Amino acid sequence: MVKPDGVQRGLVGEVINRIEKRGLKIVALRMNIISRESALKHYAEHSQKPFFKSLVDFITSAPSVSMVVEGKNAVAVMRAINGATNPANAATGSIRGDFALDTGRNIVHASDSPESAKREIEIHFKESEIAGYSRIDETWVYET
In the window 26-45, what residues touch ligand IDP (CB under 6 A)?
A: none
14 is a site residue for ligand IDP (CB under 6 A): no
Q: Which residues bind Mg ion (CB under 5 A)?
A: 112
Selecting among 42, 46, 109, 124, the annotated active-site residue is: 109
Could you tell me the smallest distance in angstroms from the CB atom of residue 140 to ligand IDP?
Answer: 30
Could you tell me the smallest distance in angstroms from the CB atom of residue 117 to ligand IDP?
Answer: 12
Which of 5, 1, 31 lies closest to 99 in space, CA to CA?
5
Distance CA 128, CA 122 (A): 11
* Closer residue to ligand IDP (CB): 61 or 103: 103
Q: Is 42 known to be catalytic?
A: no
* Cα first-last separation, the chain: 30
Distance CA 136, CA 39 (A): 35
In the window 78-137, what residues touch ligand IDP (CB under 6 A)?
A: 85, 103-104, 106, 109, 112
The C-alpha angle with vertex 3 and arms to 118 and 113, in degrees rounded to 5, equals: 25
**Catalytic positions, written as ranges:** 109
